[in-house]
């Protein structure tokens, strides 16, 4: 026949884990969504022999048990521990990836919290048994500049009707992921500072395109965070369209906008160090 199995992987997705740490009356809360992905010698499974398959239910149990046994110092360390565990303990598994979303909560009291909304912090840890890689990130961070954004000087082809503008709203929902060169950072501090750098670059860049802003955001991170080798950004252009109020005898000097749903521009790019170490499995 000549029909073969190619790349394949499996795992348990979206295990929802909340851990309460109690230091006396004062509690801390960690709220996660954990997805495990495993790959290796899984050909036999695809032909009906499950001898090498660790059930996805066991993967879920491991996530909960590890949260109890080892706590969750950071999502990156939790991911590193889980990834290595699966690769080390399962002969058929040669690669493990742990994807984690962390939902933020603001403290209201010793044991009271409000979900902070806004962005979700993410981490993806990949491990092949020899070496682990860590990609940190965030998603759902919605930013807007109400001026200091232009768009002009672009190609005019026969299908171009967009008027040039020297003053527009620039808004996006940031998804950013950044690859660490190593696996030993002060994760929470690194995350907080990187988030701050991304936001700062968005705010401070006088923008001639969302692409320019993207590059400014990525390079700002690399300039200040030596532990990071590469930044990938996905920036939807959340269009705000000026409403034509002339039919009602009104002007509209960049004051009243429609926030449009679809379609939207989508700008994606990578910013990295020229001497960035090999990414290996990082983006698997």
Please list every residue from 194 through 253 that binds a second copy, using CB under 8 A. 199, 202-203, 208-209, 211-212, 214-215, 218-219, 222-223, 230, 236-237, 240, 243, 245, 247-248, 250-252
- 56 is a catalytic site residue: yes
Q: Is the dihedral of CA 103, 221, 180, 11 positive or negative?
A: positive
Q: Does 154 bind a second copy (CB under 8 A)?
A: yes
Secondary structure letter of residue 153 according to DSSP:
S
Say if CB 190 and CB 261 are below 8 A apart.
no
Is residue 192 close enough to count as binding a second copy by CB under 8 A? no
Select the residue interacting with a second copy from 23, 157, 226, 278 (CB under 8 A): 157
Q: Where do we find the tokens 């996805």?
A: 56
Name which of 4 and 130 has its Cβ closer to a second copy.
4
Q: Does 16 bind a second copy (CB under 8 A)?
A: yes
Scored b (16 or more CB within 10 A) or e, 67-101 reads beeeebebbbbbbbbbbbbbbeebebbbbbbbbbb
Q: Does residue 238 have an active-site annotation? A: no
Min separation Cβ 87 and a second copy, Å:
13
Based on the shown chain and the rule CB under 8 A, indicate whether residue 114 belongs to the binding site for a second copy: yes
Count Cβ atoms below 10 Å from residue 114 Cβ, excluding itself: 10
For a second copy, give the closer residue by CB, 186 or 250.
Answer: 250
Kindly tell me which residue out of 96, 138, 143, 281 binds a second copy, with binding defined by CB under 8 A.
143
Does 130 bind a second copy (CB under 8 A)? Our answer is no
For 9-32, give one letter per residue: b (16+ CB within 10 A) or e. Answer: ebbbeebebeeeeeeeeeeebbbb
Catalytic pick among 12, 180, 238, 240: 12
> What is the C-alpha to C-alpha distance for residues 219 and 225, in angstroms, rounded to an integer?
10
Say whether residue 56 binds a second copy (CB under 8 A).
yes
Residues taking part in catalysis:
12, 56, 239
């Amino acid at each position: 026949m000549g029909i073969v199995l190619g790349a394949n992987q499996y795992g348990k997705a979206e295990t929802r884990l909340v851990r309460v740490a109690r230091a006396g009356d004062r509690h801390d809360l960690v709220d996660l969504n954990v997805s495990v992905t495993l790959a290796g010698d899984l050909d036999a499974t695809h032909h009906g022999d499950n001898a090498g398959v660790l059930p996805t239910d066991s993967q879920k149990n491991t996530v909960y048990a590890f949260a109890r046994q080892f706590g969750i110092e950071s999502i990156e360390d939790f991911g590193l521990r889980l990834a290595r565990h699966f690769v080390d303990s399962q002969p058929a598994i040669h690669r493990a990836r742990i994807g984690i979303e962390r939902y933020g909560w603001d403290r209201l009291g010793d044991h009271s919290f409000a979900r902070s909304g806004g962005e979700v912090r993410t981490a993806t840890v990949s491990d092949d048994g020899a070496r682990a890689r860590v990609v940190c990130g965030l998603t759902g961070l919605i930013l807007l500049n109400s001026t200091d954004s232009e768009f002009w000087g672009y190609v005019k082809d026969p299908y171009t009707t967009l008027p040039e503008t020297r003053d527009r709203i620039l808004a996006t929902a940031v998804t950013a992921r950044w690859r660490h060169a190593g696996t030993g950072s002060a994760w929470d501090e690194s995350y907080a500072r990187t988030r701050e750098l991304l936001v700062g670059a968005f705010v401070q860049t006088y923008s001639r395109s969302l692409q320019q802003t993207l590059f400014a955001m990525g390079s700002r991170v690399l300039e200040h965070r030596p532990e990071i080798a590469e930044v990938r950004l996905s920036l939807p252009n959340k269009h705000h369209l000026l409403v034509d109020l002339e039919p009602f005898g009104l002007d509209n000097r960049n004051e009243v906008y429609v926030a449009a749903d679809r379609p939207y521009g989508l700008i994606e790019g990578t910013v990295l160090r020229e001497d960035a170490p090999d990414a290996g499995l990082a983006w698997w």
